Amino acid sequence: MAGGETLLRALLTDRCYDEFVLEMNLLHVPCLKILLSKVLGLGIIAGSVMVKLPQIFKILRAKSAVGLSFKAVSLEMVSITGTMTYSIRNHHPHSSWGEALFLMLQTLTIGFLMQRYAGQTRQGVLLLLIYFLLVGLLLSPVTPLVTVALLQALNMPAIILIQIVTNQRNGHTGQLSALTLSLLLAGSLARIFTSIQETGDPLVVMTYVVASLFNGVIVSQLLYYWHVPPDSRKID
């Protein structure tokens, strides 16, 4: 019982804890929204630990990153960093952005593998060093908050658009993982609700709205090109 009480107190505000536990008002709509948002947020964070592993394993099995745009992956790393640092600098609840940490590590891995299988391992290592330097600068007071906000504003939409254009130009989706793309779409849709509930930040909300639309386009492309084999080995 003590463990359950601790969990509820961690998920709920004091007012909602009183409504649910003391008043037994289990249909209190505002508190139900808060609880749903917290559970969704924590679920997204838990799922993010593995969301890009199917993509990583697919690249490792094929020993190829054909179909993936290195430009898009590089920009995605900057984008994820923008979300993470913007949220940290604005003191948003961890449950509203925590998946960014795990997505960052997995996207970095994908970027490195793309370089490795292109015969550019040294450039891959340099990519890691530059990236972590960028993270340190963005988290420090040296970088103005407006710069971090700009990274957030230019977030996923432009990056996903690059992948959409790459798929259209190639006429296939190469080594893109259906499971990873589906999880990313589901996560961005859920984040619209949790961002409204937990941050109320219109910049964050609009980012996930547009990202959801563009992720939906990529999933549609994956279905359209499902039986088209990759015919190129280059990295864009």
Residue 148 and residue 35 in one domain: no
Residue 3 and residue 85 in one domain: no
Residue 44 and residue 55 in one domain: no
Q: What percent of the chain has pLDDT above 70?
A: 84
| Mean pLDDT computed over every residue of the chain | 80
Please indicate whether residue 148 or residue 158 has the higher confidence score (pLDDT).
148
Residue 44 and residue 119 in one domain: no
Structural domain ending residue among the three candidates 26, 48, 70: 48
Give the chain's domain count. Answer: 2
231 belongs to a structural domain: no
Residue 97 and residue 39 in one domain: no
The pLDDT tens digits for 13-38 are 667 767 777 677 777 778 888 778 78
162 belongs to a structural domain: yes
Please indicate whether residue 136 or residue 51 has the higher confidence score (pLDDT).
136
Report how far residue 47's alpha carbon sits from residue 183's, in angstroms, rounded to the nearest whole number.
8
The pLDDT tens digits for 65-104 are 887 878 778 877 877 888 889 889 988 888 788 888 888 9
Read off the pLDDT of each residue in 187-192 and give the average, rounded to a whole number: 86
Evaluate if residue 216 carries a pLDDT over 50.
yes
Domain containing 74 equals 49-224
Evaluate if residue 232 carries a pLDDT over 60.
no
Residue 66 and residue 33 in one domain: no
Residue 198 and residue 94 in one domain: yes
**What's the pLDDT score for residue 114?**
92
Evaluate if residue 131 carries a pLDDT over 50.
yes
